[in-house]
Amino acid sequence: MTEKAELTISRLIKAPRSAVWRAWSVPEHFARWWIPRPMECRVVKLDLRPGGGFETLMREGDGPFQPHVEGCFLDIAREERIVFTTALAEGWRPIEPWLALTAIMTMKDEGGGTRYAARVMHKSGEDSRRHEELGFHEGWGATIDQLAEMAGRLASSGESS
């Protein structure tokens, strides 16, 4: 029997898909929700196209910025789907991350808002368990809550188009 090698999380965001997309696609918005507070995020690359680079740094307090995520976008469907992997860097270049994963984020209209879901696939059940033990649900849940706040602000300011 194959071990479960993926984790999922989903939330209903009370904002239109255009606002969720804008929060994901504009680096200064993305930096404000991608990492659980109180940590700070710096966006190095956010090139939303297949083969485009995805790189962020993080820091706690006044310390130096440290590597957080480096990856490559595999598939982009505006306001519908974002797929990236940490097994490749920009331009499909293979890398060896501390945790290899492929994440599929989907955005669908639901109840006047957006159903945002993340499916995160790992190379093994062991890696999936490790990610879960490191706080996947808490960390990704916190960032989705922060995404919802950002998308709500963008929608209410009219900045989501």
Residues with Cβ within 8 Å of 107's Cβ and at least 6 positions away in sequence, in order, are 17, 20, 21, 79, 80, 81, 114, 115, 116
Q: Quick one: pLDDT at residue 158?
A: 84
Please work out, in degrees rounded to the nearest 5, the angle formed at the alpha carbon of residue 135 by the alpha carbons of 98 and 133.
Answer: 75
Q: Quick one: pLDDT at residue 149?
A: 98
Tokens describing residue 45: 């690359």
- Closest among 117, 108, 84, 83 to 17, alpha carbons compared: 108
Tokens describing residue 25: 């696609």
Which band of pLDDT confidence, cut at 50, 70 and 90, is reported for residue 1? very low
Give the pLDDT confidence of 72-88 residue by residue, as tens digits.
Answer: 999 999 999 999 999 99
Alpha-carbon gap, residue 124 to 104, rounded angstroms: 17
Q: Quick one: pLDDT at residue 32?
A: 97
Give the pLDDT confidence of 95-136 residue by residue, as tens digits.
Answer: 999 899 999 999 999 999 999 999 999 999 999 999 999 999
Residues with Cβ within 8 Å of 67's Cβ and at least 6 positions away in sequence, in order, are 57
Give the pLDDT confidence of 12-60 residue by residue, as tens digits.
Answer: 999 999 999 999 999 999 999 999 999 999 999 999 999 999 999 999 9
Alpha-carbon gap, residue 120 to 81, rounded angstroms: 13
SS3 153: helix
- Closest among 128, 145, 121, 129 to 10, alpha carbons compared: 145
